[in-house]
Amino acid sequence: MKKILRLPVVAARQAALIFRDLKMSLRLPAVQSETENGITYRGMHRSELTSINNLYVLMNGGSNIALARRFVYWLVGNKIVIVVSKKEQGEEKIIGLNMFYFNKKDVRQNTIHDGFVGIEHSFQGLGIGSRLRRKGVVNFGGTYLSGISSRIDVDNKASLAVTLKVGAEPVEQYTDPVTGAERYYLINWFDK
C-alpha cells in the first residue's frame, strides 16, 4: 500500500526533473562535431539512446540511466550528451560518453552538472577523458551558463586529475550519505 501511495510523489519528482532539464537545455546549442586522431566527439543522436544506455550499464555497475533522464536525453541529447565514436570495420562504434543534466543547485548557480563520464576500457589512457571534459567546457562556455559542476570521489584520482586539469576547483568536500564515500563537489567557472 505504501508503494501505491508513493507513486504520485515519485511521478511528480520525475516530472519536475524532466521540466527542469528541458527548460534549461532548450536554450543550449547542439554539440558540434569534431574529429581528432580518428575519434569523433559530437552530440548524441536520438537513435543512439539504447546504445548509450547499454554502455552506461556496463560502466555503472549494471544500472540503467533513469527513465526520466532517458526521456530528456531522447529529446535534447544532442545538446547535453557528448558522444565519442570511432569507425571500426566501416561501422561507427560509440566508445565513450559524457552526460550532463541540471539539478536544483545547478539552476541556482546557473551551472550544468557533469553527471557521468565513461570511456570503454580498451580506449582508456588515450586522453579521451580530458578531451571530453574540454569539449564540455567549450560547448557550454559560450552559452548563458556560468560553469560546470561535478561530484567526484576523493579516491578517484584519474577522474579528479582530468577535471582539475580543465579548470575545475573543489568548493566542498563531503561524505556521500548513500555510499559513505568521501567526495568533492567541484565547479569549473567559465569567467576565470
What does the pLDDT profile of the chain (192 residues) look like in tens digits? 555 556 677 788 889 989 999 999 999 999 999 998 899 999 999 999 999 999 999 988 899 999 999 999 999 999 999 999 998 888 889 999 999 999 999 999 999 999 999 999 999 889 898 999 999 999 999 999 999 999 999 999 988 999 999 999 999 999 999 899 999 999 999 985
Q: What's the confidence (pLDDT) of residue 11?
A: 82
**What is the pTM (predicted TM-score) of this model?**
0.91
Q: What's the structural domain count of the chain?
A: 1
What is the structure's pLDDT at 184? 96
pLDDT at residue 90, as a whole number: 85
Determine the pLDDT at residue 14. 87
Sheet holding 39-43, edge to edge: 34-36, 39-43, 81-88, 91-101, 111-119, 147-153, 182-189, 169-175
User: What's the pLDDT at 2?
Assistant: 58
pLDDT, position 13: 87
Among the listed residues 73, 167, 161, 81, the one whose alpha carbon sits nearest the alpha carbon of residue 118: 81
Structural domain boundaries, residue 60: 2-189
* CA nearest neighbour of 53 among 69, 62, 64, 67: 64
- CATH of residue 60's domain is 3.40.630.30
pLDDT score recorded for residue 5: 59
pLDDT of residue 10: 75
- pLDDT at position 192 is 58
Using a 10 angstrom Cβ sphere, with 0-12 exposed, 13-18 middle and 19 or more buried, the burial of residue 154 is: middle
What pLDDT does 12 receive? 86
